[in-house]
Structure 1
Amino acid sequence: MTGSPVKGRKRAAWTLVALAPICAEMTFGALPLGMMWVLPLLVPMYGAGVLLIREAVRRTGGGWPSLLVLALVYELAEDGIGLQALTSPGLYGAAEWGPRVLGINTTYWESQIGYHAVFSVMVPILLTDLLHPAHRDRPYLRRGGLIGVGAVAVLGVAMLRVLIPPVMDPGYQAPLPALAAFVLAGVVLSVIALKVLPGRTPPPPAGTSAPKPAVVGLLAALATVAFLGLLIPVFPVGAGGRGWWALPPMVLAVAVAVVTGLLLHRWSASGWTDAHRIWLAGGTLVAHSLFGAAVMATTTLDRVGLTGFAVLTALLMALLGRRVARRLVPVG
């Protein structure tokens, strides 16, 4: 590591702030290329929000399970309170994706839990750890910085609420009981993530070794396409939506997520390296860009752009792999 430790931590923090909205929005097609000017407005929610999650987990000694639980809190804040998409009958057509239970768009909710857990939280943090390995297990911020980032994250949720629903979903206001439930759930889940889970993650079973990195990348790509394809309507749905017919795909999507997570946990027992992490992130990102090009894009420009993002991601992951390999070569 060159330079001072403080500057190194700041660079790592800014890297994570930049990667979060790029991984979550720009490379999927949820934000069309013609609206890329909106991306900086998403930094307070995505960048500050994920940085806050990462700092809280590092300070309490938590690991990936804690990050996963806080990713659910993040999703409740963004889609439940900011965008109000979890309960809206009109925004994004989410009510047509599957059954509405207690006024909640359940299929949309499930898709966003998995999506934000992976692309808004875990992949940006994983990539930042690879780019700044000296600070992988350390907090980036001091207490004042942490408080400031928390305030910006709250501001980001408020910005979403003020800027997007009035334009895309005019007149809708989420019911107060639902908003209160989201806040309460966020508090309970935060306590579980930061007080209960740290130090209690079960170790991977002994005797299991990781396969080749390319196998990990292929699994990540297939799991990404399967999960998104099962939940996000690939073809337009009728006026009545999919209703309860979406329940079997919802169960299968949960199975895909659980099996993938268990396999990665087992493989981490032995032989798990940064090369595996690079292939894991790369396979996931490339697959989600190609899925976006096939399903989310509405114009030729967006399809070409997302395909280009997929190719660029593969090239950048290859360069990162070379950088990591050089870092591991002994000097002399």
Structure 2
Amino acid sequence: MTPTSPPTASPPAAGRHVRLGRAEPNRGRVRAAWTLALLTTLCAELTFTAVAVPSTWVLLPLLLVMYGAGVLLVREAVVRCGGGWPSLVLLGLAYQLAEDGLGLQALNSPDMYDAADWGLRALGVNWTYWESQIGVHVVLSVLLPVMIANLLFPAMRARPYLRTGGLAVTGALAVLGVVGLRVFISATEDPGYRTPPAWTLAYVAAIAVLAWLALRVLPRRRPRDTPARGSRQAPRPPLVGFISLYLTMAFLTTLLPLGLGGDLLFGDAMSQPFRLIAAAMTAVPFAWLAARWRTAANWTDRHRLWLLGGILVSHTAFMMPGSWTSALLGALTLALELLALRALSRQVRRGEGPAPGAARA
């Protein structure tokens, strides 16, 4: 799920820190930053959890700080270090550990969200919940919002949105958001619970290692160009959308109860360990397909739009079977999503047509 680099400029050389030029219009940068912050909150929660749990809207200020600042910080760190989409994925994993492991404590809590009842729990960890949230947060919280922001602001795809002071404030807000999850949500949903110290240290260490790999190791290995390979062709955009819709639904229904209700699809037909394997057998080929598609000679922004549209529509539809209220809210949300995607499609068609020799990332 990776858009091309800016049509007018190649990405920075691997490992180089990017500095924001003084000539960059301040209004455009600020608009892009706020747009990404809103997009990640919409994609991660307001078009997903809020369909089945409308009270999620009450937490909008906290979610905007936690999701918006967190993902904006991830995006800015990757761009400034000259990283690409693999770096975004690794920082997305670190972000998920910070949110679910350190903030919500949902990775370990036996009671939070009834996650322990959804699947395998061993060594004090809700493994099924963890795997589901890796997919949800890496894709829906990080990759898709960044993809949409790139489509909306194509000239800034490889440029920072924030100056140094703004980056420092964003980092502070991201930390505050994680603390807010512990204080306002974890303490309410599972009062008195504390993640075992050993697991807390493990999460902190894992976050540090992932950040080091994403910001120090991968940028040095990133080639300046990833040209199209031979005559490989991606499917037509509608087929890309259908595949992404289907595989997203398959991943979610394997690990989570439809609409966050009480029953998992297929009931006891799948053992708890096998659900983890089956979900990985969906997610890994999907990621492999997306990686191959992006190197195809005919891969365009329209393909990206259908790819992200299929994922968004599927993850909203997943939440609709919970109740009549969820069905109605989901239908309204889907209608708004389709209208937004249609408007974005018009903009993509107006600006499509990358310059000859433009680099891919």
Q: Give the TM-score, by structure 1 length.
A: 0.92
* Paired position in structure 1 for 2:332: 308
Q: State the identity %.
A: 48
Match of 1:71 among 92, 98, 107: 92
Distance 2:134 2:300 in 1: 27
* Paired position in structure 1 for 2:140: 119
Residues 37-186 of structure 1 correspond to what in structure 2 (within 5 A)? 37-186=58-207
Report the alpha carbon displacement of residue 310 of structure 1 after superposing the two structures with TM.
Answer: 1.3
Distance 1:322 1:237 in 2: 40
* Paired position in structure 2 for 1:223: 247
Q: Do 1:17 and 1:43's aligned partners in 2 also have CA atoms closer than 8 Å?
A: yes
Residues 5-24 of structure 1 correspond to what in structure 2 (within 5 A)? 5-24=25-44
Report the alpha carbon displacement of residue 4 of structure 1 after superposing the two structures with TM.
Answer: 6.2
Q: Do 2:301 and 2:352's aligned partners in 1 also have CA atoms closer than 8 Å?
A: no
Distance 2:177 2:33 in 1: 17
The amino acid of 2:246's aligned partner reads L
The amino acid of 1:194's aligned partner reads L
Please give the per-residue CA displacement for 1:273-295, whole angstroms capped at 9, x wherever unaligned: 1101111111110111001112x
- State the aligned residue count: 323
The amino acid of 1:157's aligned partner reads V
Structure 2 stretches of 5 or more lacking a match?
1-22, 355-361
Distance 2:25 2:282 in 1: 40
Instruction: Point out the more displaced range, 226-235 or 251-260.
Output: 226-235
Partner-residue secondary structure (3-state), 2:231? coil
Which structure has the highest helix share of the two? 1
Residues 224-263 of structure 1 correspond to what in structure 2 (within 5 A)? 224-234=248-258, 236=262, 245-263=271-289
Report the alpha carbon displacement of residue 208 of structure 1 after superposing the two structures with TM.
Answer: 1.6
Q: Do 2:66 and 2:178's aligned partners in 1 also have CA atoms closer than 8 Å?
A: yes
Distance 2:200 2:50 in 1: 24
Distance 1:310 1:293 in 2: 10
Report the alpha carbon displacement of residue 233 of structure 1 after superposing the two structures with TM.
Answer: 2.8
Q: Do 1:293 and 1:303's aligned partners in 2 also have CA atoms closer than 8 Å?
A: yes
The amino acid of 2:294's aligned partner reads S
Please give the per-residue CA displacement for 1:217-259, whole angstroms capped at 9, x wherever unaligned: 1111011101101111346359xx97x9221121121121111
CA RMSD of aligned residues (A): 2.2
Q: Do 1:221 and 1:286's aligned partners in 2 also have CA atoms closer than 8 Å?
A: yes
Q: Do 1:29 and 1:293's aligned partners in 2 also have CA atoms closer than 8 Å?
A: no
Partner-residue secondary structure (3-state), 1:109? helix
Report the alpha carbon displacement of residue 210 of structure 1 after superposing the two structures with TM.
Answer: 1.5
Distance 1:215 1:201 in 2: 30
The amino acid of 2:181's aligned partner reads L
Structure 1 stretches of 5 or more lacking a match?
none
Q: Does 1:268 align with 2:294?
A: yes
Report the alpha carbon displacement of residue 123 of structure 1 after superposing the two structures with TM.
Answer: 0.7
Partner-residue secondary structure (3-state), 1:174? coil
The amino acid of 1:274's aligned partner reads D
The amino acid of 1:124's aligned partner reads P
Distance 1:230 1:320 in 2: 31
Instruction: Point out the more displaced range, 305-314 or 83-92.
Output: 305-314
Match of 2:305 among 278, 289, 295: 278
Distance 1:89 1:320 in 2: 42
Report the alpha carbon displacement of residue 327 of structure 1 after superposing the two structures with TM.
Answer: 2.5
* Paired position in structure 2 for 1:198: 219
Q: Do 1:65 and 1:201's aligned partners in 2 also have CA atoms closer than 8 Å?
A: no
Instruction: Point out the more displaced range, 199-208 or 95-104.
Output: 199-208
The amino acid of 1:47's aligned partner reads G
